[in-house]
Amino acid sequence: MPEKFGFQERVLDEASELWPIEYFLQKRAEWFIEKSGIEKYLKVGGQYLDVGTGRGHITQRVLADMETSGAPLKGYYGIDIAERPLRKVQKREATRLKKTTEADQGKNPMGFVWADGEDLPFQDGTLDGVSYIFSIHHMDKVMTGKVMQEAKRVCKPDGNIFVAEDIVDSDEQRKLTEDRDRLLNWEGKDAKHNYKSDQEWEEYFNGLGLEVVGRELFNSETRKGPIPHGFYVLRKKPEVR
Ligand SMILES: C[S@@+](CC[C@H](N)C(=O)[O-])C[C@H]1O[C@@H](n2cnc3c(N)ncnc32)[C@H](O)[C@@H]1O
């Protein structure tokens, strides 16, 4: 079921629609697209899905960029288990469509829905790619395993699975990353995070029958120091296709 919000969460949720936060999310989307290089892995006319899409700024930006560069996608759908961010995305999309000319109505279909990554509303082998952008470390190990199996199920044999994640290989790095995560996501002190080092991520993907075919390492620069991230491009190993 979609999550329930208490009073504090509702106040923060309303505040999050203010323009400085929208502006920050748009700038973050541009930063992520540039650092990860995700667009170079997308196929013209391809259909993609982002799991744990939050407020969808990244997929919206990718769709617009691909359209502008003459390589439009058929779709970059977004799902999230949290209902409220998605309502904001739908509101934003409705406003965008109102401002769009009739001829352009069918372009950049956003297709945001509430769904759980453990049970994707897509048929087997139908998508060109599935992305998880800083969403996996919010899931526990059992859930992550199920979620990644679902990505393998819905991806075409030559489809890509994209994972952007925080990279942590020391206690100091863990604290810095976790403090930042809690701040950006307005999480409580009890929120758990499933971080890994670069090598541990690779071993983890291998264990799931996925090989790393592309990798970008980059940092978020913060006042307390850099926070490392990895963007992994994964393919099903031939034996699991
Ligand atoms: C840190 S946010 C990242 C949002 C977005 N990808 C971004 O980078 O801006 C993680 C998101 O994963 C979502 N999430 C966690 N578990 C999920 C699941 N099982 N299925 C779908 N979404 C999930 C959360 O609701 C949250 O919106």
What pLDDT shows up at residue 88? Answer: 79
- Kindly report the pTM of this predicted structure: 0.89
Centre of ligand 1 to C-alpha 82, Å, is: 8
Q: Which atom of ligand 1 is nearest to the CA of 117?
A: 20
- Return the domain boundaries, the chain: 7-240
> pLDDT at position 241, please?
75
| Single-letter amino acid, residue 20 | P
Pocket mutation for ligand 1, best pick of 55, 77, 80 (most atoms within 8 Å of C-beta): 80
If one residue of 59, 138, 139, 231 were mutated to test the ligand 1 pocket, choosing by the most ligand atoms within 8 A of its CB, it would be 138
Query: Tokens 């329930």 sit at which residue?
Result: 4
How remote is the CA of residue 54 from the centroid of ligand 1, in Å? 5
Distance CA 94, CA 50 (A): 19
List pLDDT tens digits, range 212-239: 999 999 999 999 999 999 999 999 998 8
Would you say domain 7-240 falls under CATH 3.40.640.10? no
The pLDDT value recorded for residue 29 is 97
Helices (H), 53-117: 57-68, 83-99
Q: How far is the CA of 104 from the centre of ligand 1 (A)?
A: 29
CA of 185 to the centre of ligand 1 (A): 10
Tell the burial category of 174 from Cβ atoms under 10 Å away from its Cβ (0-12, 13-18, 19+): middle
CA-to-CA dists, residue 96 to 16, 28, 154, angstroms: 19, 20, 29
- The ligand 1 atom at the shortest distance from the C-alpha of residue 116 is 20
**Spatial CB neighbours of 155, under 8 Å, sequence gap ≥ 6:** 125, 127, 128, 129, 130, 161, 236
Distance 156 CA to ligand 1 centre (A): 23
- Which parts of the chain have pLDDT scores under 70? 1-19, 103-110
Looking at residue 174, its pLDDT comes to 95
Structure confidence at residue 1 (pLDDT): 37
Q: Which residues lie with the beta carbon below 6 Å from any ligand 1 atom?
A: 51-54, 79-82, 85, 116-118, 133-135, 138-139, 143, 147, 185
Give me the pLDDT at residue 41, please.
97
How many angstroms does the Cα of residue 163 sit away from the middle of ligand 1? 12
